[in-house]
A and B are shown apart, each in its own frame.
Chain A
Amino acid sequence: MRLFPRFLNGAGQLYVGLVLAFLYLPIFIMVLMSFNASPFYQLPIDWSAGWYTALAGNSQLIAATWNSVTIALTTTAIATLLGTAASLALYRYRFRGKKLLQALLFPPIAIPWLITGTAMLIFFFAVGIGRGLHAILLGHVALALPYVIVVVSARLQTFAPELEEAARSLGASQWQVTRRVTLPWIAPGVIAGALFAFAVSFDQFVVSYFLSTPGQTTLPVEIYAAIRKGFTPEINAVSTIIIVLSMTLMLLTARYFRFGGEK
C-alpha cells in the first residue's frame, strides 16, 4: 500500500518535470546565447557559432577551465573523505565540546566569502603559504567541508546504531563495520555531499580570485575579473561544453551505478 493512490504518480512525475524545467531554464538560455552573435545578448537571436571559434583560440580561458576542473575534482575527493570521517565521529561518539564543533561549521557558510577571501589572503601571506593553486585548493576544501559534514550528518540521522552494534557483536572490526554496514547506508549522503563539494569549488570565485596568481587562474576568476568591462558569450560557450560533458558523464553513471540507497 502506498501513501498516495497510483493515479497521482503521474502528477508527481509531472511535478518533478516542472521543477527540473525551472532548474534548467537559465541553463537553456545560457546555451541559446552561446549561439547568439550579439555580445549583449540582444534578441532576436542572430545565430552564429562564432563564440565557439573564439573560444578555441582562447588558450587562457581553456587553461583556466582545466585548472577549475582539476581543483574541483581534488577538492571533492579530499572534502568528501575528511567530511565523511568527521561526520561519523560526530555521530558515533560522545564527548565534550561536540556542540561547539558543530557550531563551528557555520562561520564558513555564514561569513560572506568576500571577507573570508580577504582574511585568507592576509593570513596565507603572513604564514608563508602565499598565493597559487595550492592556496586555492586549501581554501576550497575548507569551504566545501561544512557542506559535506552537514549533508552526510543528515543522512546518518536516519541510521540505526543497533546495526553497528549487531555487526560488532558478531566480531566485526570497527573498519569492517564502517565499510560493510555504515557506508552502504549513508552512500546517498556521501554522493550528495560530493556533488555539493564539487559545485562549491567549481563555482567559487571570490576566494579563488584573491588567491590566484597572475597567469594561473580558474574559470570563475576569469569571469569575475571581466565583470567590470563585461564578458563575452565565450563564457556561455565554455559553460555549455562543460554542462553537456558533465550531463553525459552523469547519465552514464546513473546507467551503471546504483547509489540512490535502494536495497
Chain B
Amino acid sequence: MTAAPPPGAQHSQLRPALPLLLPAYLWLTLAIFLPLSAMVFFSFMTDLPLADRSWAMTLGNYAAFFETDLYGRLLLRSLRLGLEVTLYCVLIGFPCAYVLAKVLKGRSREAIFLLVILPFWSNGLVRIFSWAIFLRGGGVIDSALNAVLPFEVSVDLMYSYPAVIIGLVHSYLPYMVLTCYLTLQAIDDSLIEAARSLGASRLTVLRRLIVPLAMPGLIAGAVLIFVPVVGSFMEPRILGGRSGTFYGTVIEDQFVAVFNWPLGAALSFILLAVVLAVLALAAPVLRRQT
C-alpha cells in the first residue's frame, strides 16, 4: 500500500524516463544550475574579474568560514531556527491536516484546502508588516486586550526571537498542512478500522499506522520548510530587531553592504552543504519510521 519500490527490471530504465525528465531538468539547468555554477566559480576567486581588478584562484573564502567563530555561531543559530520553525509547523500542521483529511467530508474540505494557501497569494513583505502592527506595543494585541480587561497591560512581542518564530511559522505552515493532507488522505479508512477491531489502541494506530503512512508528506513538508528557513533574512530582520541577525544576514551583507561576491557565494555553498548533510543524516532515521 505504501512506498513500495516500483517493480521493474534491473537494467536501467533511463530511456523511457528521459522524455519526462528532460523538460524540467533542462529548464532548471538553464535558469538555475548554470547561473549558480558561475557563483561556484566566483567562490574560488580572490576578487571578481572586473577590468580594474586582479584575481587568482583561492580556497580563502571557504577558509574564512573557519577563521572566526562568527559564521559558525550564526549558522548554528540559523539551524536551530530552522528546526524550531519546522517542529512548530509539524505540531500545528499535522493535526490540522488530519482533521481535514479524515474528519471533514465533502465540499467544506475542498474549500478549506484552498483557503489554507490563499493568504500566501498576498505579498510576503505586506504580511510581515501586518505582523509588526499586530505584535508591537500600542498595537493590535495591546489595544484589544486593554479594551476588554479592567487593568492596563502592555504586550510587546515585536523585535524578539519569538516574533521571528511567529512570522516564519505563519509563512511556512501551509506547506506542512497540504503535504500531510496529501498522504493522510491516501490512507484507507478500512485499514484504520481493521487495526482498531484487532484491538490496537488509538495511540498505537496513530504511532504504528498513521504516522508511518503519512511520513512521505511529513518529510516533504519538513524539507520545504527547514531548507528555506535556514537561509532566511527578511523576516528575521524586520521582526527580530536586535535578535534578527542570522546566517542569511551575513550572506546578504556580502552582496549589499560590501562588494564581496566571492565570500558571499562561498558562505552560501557552505550553507547548502550543511543543509544537505543534515537531510542526509536525518534520512535513515526517518526511513526507519516508515
Contact = CB atoms under 8 A, between A and B. Distances in A.
Interface in A1-27: 1-4, 9, 12-13, 15-16, 19-20, 22-27
Given A91-B6, A112-B251, A115-B251, A151 B220 contact: yes
B123 A112 contact: no
B268 to A, nearest CB: 5
A142 B28 contact: yes
Contacts of A114: 251-252, 255-256
A17 B252 CA distance: 38
Contacts of A146: 28
Contacts of B264: 115
Q: Interface residues of B: mostly helix, strand, loop or mixed? A: helix
A86 B25 contact: yes
Given A95-B17, A158-B2, A254-B110, A150 B185 contact: no
B183 A138 contact: no
A26 B130 contact: yes
Q: Which of B24, B139, B187 has the most CB of A within 10 A?
A: B24
Given A110-B275, A120-B31, A254-B107, A12 B24 contact: no
B216 A154 contact: yes
A93 B30 CA distance: 24
Nearest to B197: A1
Contact of B38 (A43, A119, A258): A119
Given A3-B202, A250-B118, A111 B272 contact: yes
Contacts of A158: 1-3, 182-183, 186-187, 213, 216
Contact of B96 (A19, A96, A118, A195): A19
B170 A90 contact: no
A255 B107 contact: yes
A21 to B, nearest CB: 11
Interface in B177-216: 177-179, 181-183, 185-187, 189, 192-193, 196-197, 202, 205-206, 210, 213, 216
A110 B118 contact: no
A56 interface: no
Interface residues of A, number: 111
Contacts of B16: 89, 92-93, 174
A159 B216 CA distance: 11
A157 B268 CA distance: 31
Interface string B11-45: 01110111011011101101111111011000000
A116 interface: yes
Nearest to B20: A89
A91 B39 CA distance: 31
Interface string A77-119: 0000011011011111111100001011011111110111011
Nearest to B175: A196
A49 interface: no
Contacts of B140: 29, 43
B7 A161 contact: yes
B182 A192 contact: yes
A98 to B, nearest CB: 9
A227 B129 CA distance: 11
A145 B24 CA distance: 7
Interface string A236-248: 1001001100110
A250 B96 CA distance: 20
| Cβ-closest 4 pairs across A and B | A158-B186, A142-B31, A89-B20, A26-B130
Interface of B: 1-8, 12-14, 16-18, 20-21, 23-25, 27-28, 30-36, 38-39, 92-93, 95-96, 98-100, 102-105, 107, 109-127, 129-131, 133-134, 138-140, 143, 170, 173-175, 177-179, 181-183, 185-187, 189, 192-193, 196-197, 202, 205-206, 210, 213, 216-217, 219-221, 223-224, 227-228, 230-233, 248, 251-252, 255-256, 261, 264-265, 268-269, 271-272, 275-276, 279
15 contacts: A2-B192, A12-B104, A26-B130, A27-B122, A29-B140, A85-B21, A96-B12, A106-B279, A112-B248, A114-B255, A118-B39, A119-B35, A119-B38, A138-B27, A141-B27
Interface of A: 1-4, 9, 12-13, 15-16, 19-20, 22-27, 29-30, 33, 41, 43-44, 82-83, 85-86, 88-96, 101, 103-104, 106-112, 114-116, 118-120, 122-124, 126, 138-139, 141-143, 145-147, 149-151, 153-155, 157-161, 165, 174, 188-189, 191-192, 195-196, 198-199, 202-203, 205, 219-220, 223-224, 227, 235-236, 239, 242-243, 246-247, 250-251, 253-255, 257-262
